[in-house]
Amino acid sequence: MGRWEPGARERLQRAALELYVERGFEQTTVAEITNRAGLTERTFFRHFADKREVLFSGQDELLESCVNTIVGAPEATAPLDAVAEALQAISARFEERREFSRQRQTVIAANAGLQERELLKLAALASATADALRRRGVTEPTASLAAEAGVAVFKIAFERWIGEPGGRTLADVIQDSLDHLKAATAG
């Protein structure tokens, strides 16, 4: 099975993102990615099913982490606040990889197929979030509405955070966006 390459996953992701930004996602081959990373294709396919998965791997774990936070939140926590807490809890993973996140956003924005996949992932996050809220006893339509609103807050906060030159953390921007949504719905 070949030897274990330390940091191989991160090297492959970095090389792939660089190439997607430089040449476009469609034009980049797995061979080019492994060349730039100085690794074999065999190593690539041990980490990723295909070149698209470089952009979307790890999302199932994030989704699971969100669900666990929501289900385990104190009983008194309001539905939308439980969702916001869960999204803030996962934001640390993006914080460490701001440049990767920025490049990833650029690549996805330039490709309709990747955009559709991203939207499908966000829809799956909203659906799992609504399910977690129902497990807390939240009834419909509040569970689905709080889930969709929470994911919308995350999506917009993420874009703002990516676009801001340094400064606030993603968790802060999520909180600020949530406050703006609350003000807009109270208005």
Instruction: Note the residues at the interface with its own copies (CB under 8 A).
Output: 78-80, 112, 115-117, 119-120, 123, 140-142, 144-146, 148-149, 152-153, 155-157, 160, 176-177, 180-187
Which residues make Cβ contacts (< 8 Å) with residue 51, sequence separation at least 6?
16, 25, 28, 29, 30, 33
- Minimum Å gap between C-beta 125 and its own copies is 12
- Minimum Å gap between C-beta 167 and its own copies is 15
Rounded distance between C-alpha atoms, residue 39 and residue 50, angstroms: 15
Compare residues 2 and 187 and give the one whose CB is closer to its own copies. Answer: 187
Tell me how far CA of residue 121 lies from CA of 15, 125, 138, in angstroms: 24, 6, 23
Rounded distance between C-alpha atoms, residue 121 and residue 62, angstroms: 11
Residue closest to 170 by CA, chosen among 64, 84, 111: 84
Compare residues 43 and 129 and give the one whose CB is closer to its own copies. Answer: 129
- Minimum Å gap between C-beta 174 and its own copies is 11
Compare residues 12 and 80 and give the one whose CB is closer to its own copies. Answer: 80
Q: Which amino acid type is present at position 181?
A: L
Compare residues 32 and 53 and give the one whose CB is closer to its own copies. Answer: 53
